[in-house]
Structure 1
Amino acid sequence: MTLARPRRSMLFMPASNARALEKAKGLPADGLIFDLEDAVAPEAKDEARTQAAAAVASGDYGGRDLVVRINGLDTDWWRDDLKAVVPNHPFAVLIPKVEGPEAIHKVEEEITWHSAHPDMEIWVMIETPKGFLNAGAIAAASDRLTTWVVGTNDLAKDLRAKHTKDRLPVITALGLALLHARANGLTILDSVYSNFRDAEGFAFECQQAKELGFDGKTLIHPAQVDVANSTFAPSEDELTLARRMLAAFDEAKAEGKGVAVLDGRMIEELHLEEARRMVTMAEAIAG
């Protein structure tokens, strides 16, 4: 799948924090997730809904993707969340702790009731053992479903696993999620890195996520935005090689050849998909 929009950095913002919402207007994140769930105390839920709805409708956040994370479907809050924000047409709503297609069906039915825009997307968080094991059924649940966010904090807790730098205790789950996401043409975003003061650890995890195949990373602090943006963007060397590959193949094709040779390496059509994706991504970032 070629991304129409970059998703290098998706920053969670507590929707109850008016100061944070104001500051977010000037941040270079690719998108913002206005959080109504974990970052919001029960007594602040109403205020958070009101502020999230106003932020979505304001037009003050430029071209960023504005997503609202609702409360879990095992709470009494999620329907009120959708009632408040859907009429203001967020780019997407994000459902936490999805463990099967039923949660997506419930949300889709509810947003339809509130006259959701036809293009409004549903994003889901896969963050429990059951969620990862049901990834195939979740992926096929709705045409509105476009994006997964993996969550390793809850997963590690449920597995009784350790948080390690290389993430080997949860690497099987990450790989499983990536396989299902790619098989179903979904965007997939890596988990948050909780220690925002650990710049070295965060940079390492961003690089690992890129090498695994993630499209970007979810963030909890503005200080993480620049590193995520630079890591998940194509580098100048990658772009130069991608453009050379495309040019070499076009030249070979004009000569009636089905393959091209560049720097001693055979270039076929199957190699060009990633090259085109990189060039398209770079153009989207520049735009």
Structure 2
Amino acid sequence: MTDFDDHERGRWAGRAEAYARSFGRLCAYPAPALLDAAGVTDGARMLDVGTGPGTVAALATARGATVTAVDAEASMIVTARTARAAGHFARAALPLLPFPTGAFDVAVANFVINHVGDPLAAVSELRRVVRPGGQVAITIWPYPRPPLQRLWRQAYEAAGGPPRPALPQVDAERNFDRTPEGLTGLLRGAGLDPLRCETLSWVHRTDPQEWWAGPEAGIGELGLLLDGAPADLRRRARDAYDRLTAEYRGPDGLLGLPTGALVASGRTR
């Protein structure tokens, strides 16, 4: 475990409900493509790491897979168990998973590698728990950032927020480029034979108030930037958010925010 891992654990503690009604809906979009990339079909033994509210696990179960789902955050497991009847849910975290080598046919991680301090060790652990000839599939947010991901820092800067203290980051020697080439290289370095890396682009439709509920609850980049901030700065940030998102509001009042993700998969040897 690194300082970055410890920081991430603290940031997500007790925030499952707020995540599920805000960022959880965004992260659900690539789930079908993730399962396709992993080749999840009827009868597959699948491990879903970082299950969150259990969205990917539920989709895999509907395909006929036998699902084990884990998350580092206890409130996520409670939410997933409540919402999803099928599958086995437990607490566990990368890069150390409590499963035998080769226990699964498939392992998936939906926007999890963004939140670990040693990405190579994390993907290597996913490879370890999958049998030879099985598949590992992951999603990450790409770089350069799409408009949706740029919005939060733009709102903070427009509000006149001061520079924030340095926070734990992934060590440079352990990090990787959030590009198709960087992600494919990560899979290869973890001992996988890369099969594909696809860039998904879509427009995230959401209610403005529900989307603001994420940073209001301390989730995401803006939530982190506003943590412990004075009430006046939080108010200015909300005003800036409303101004910046005005161009993305449709006649129905919902936001349509352009975004994207990388979906990659590799086969175990």
Confirm or deny a common fold (TM above 0.5). Answer: no
Q: Which has the larger radius of gyration?
A: 1
Using structure 1 for the length normalisation, give the TM-score. 0.31
Using structure 2 for the length normalisation, give the TM-score. 0.33
Indicate the structure with greater strand content.
2
Indicate the structure with greater helix content.
1
Higher-RCO chain (CA-CA 8 Å, sequence separation at least 6): 2
